[in-house]
Amino acid sequence: MHPYTDNNHITVIKKSLFNVKNLNINKSLLNKVKLQFAINLQLESVNATFSSATDKQSNIEKKSARLKRENRLKDANVYKIVDFGQANYQFQINGKQSIFAKLIDNNCSEKTMWLKQVN
């Protein structure tokens, strides 16, 4: 175990005891060994976790997607309803009865939305 870095880590060396043939340790098996090692450390009250390279990549992708969503929301138009009700369409004297909502955005620009038809 190497405790002298920001993240303590273990180096696994693949070597056969009998030099007959190399051990066959695939990534899946190695990840299981690392995970079990972290669990054993946790049982000894050591704060240990294991994240595979795939987990780390997945976390990076999730964080990137979350940031994109947040940026879209941040850049989206946000309106506050300041008035609503029924009136003649576009407040014209001869306009048909309609429903309106007056909105104001973050830049204090006012906008009126109209529903074309009242049932």
pLDDT in tens, 11-65: 666 555 666 566 666 777 778 888 888 888 888 888 878 777 777 777 778 888 8
Residue 24's pLDDT is what? 66
Residue 1's pLDDT is what? 52
C-alpha 82/C-alpha 61 separation (Å) is: 40
C-alpha 117/C-alpha 8 separation (Å) is: 67
Share of the chain above pLDDT 90, in %: 9
* Cα R_g (the chain), whole angstroms: 31
DSSP state of 89: G
Share of the chain above pLDDT 70, in %: 72
Mean predicted lDDT score pLDDT of the chain: 77
* Backbone CA torsion sign across 69, 70, 75, 80: positive
* Backbone CA torsion sign across 24, 27, 28, 34: positive
pLDDT band at 101 (very low <50, low <70, confident <90, very high): very high
| Claim: this prediction has a pTM higher than 0.75 | no
First to last CA, the chain: 74
Q: Which two three-digit tokens encode residue 17?
A: 């005891």
Q: Which residue has the higher pLDDT, 26 or 98?
A: 98
C-alpha 46/C-alpha 35 separation (Å) is: 14
Residue 117's pLDDT is what? 63
**CB of 41 closer than 8 Å to CB of 48:** yes
**CB of 96 closer than 8 Å to CB of 115:** no
Q: Which residue has the higher pLDDT, 13 or 100?
A: 100
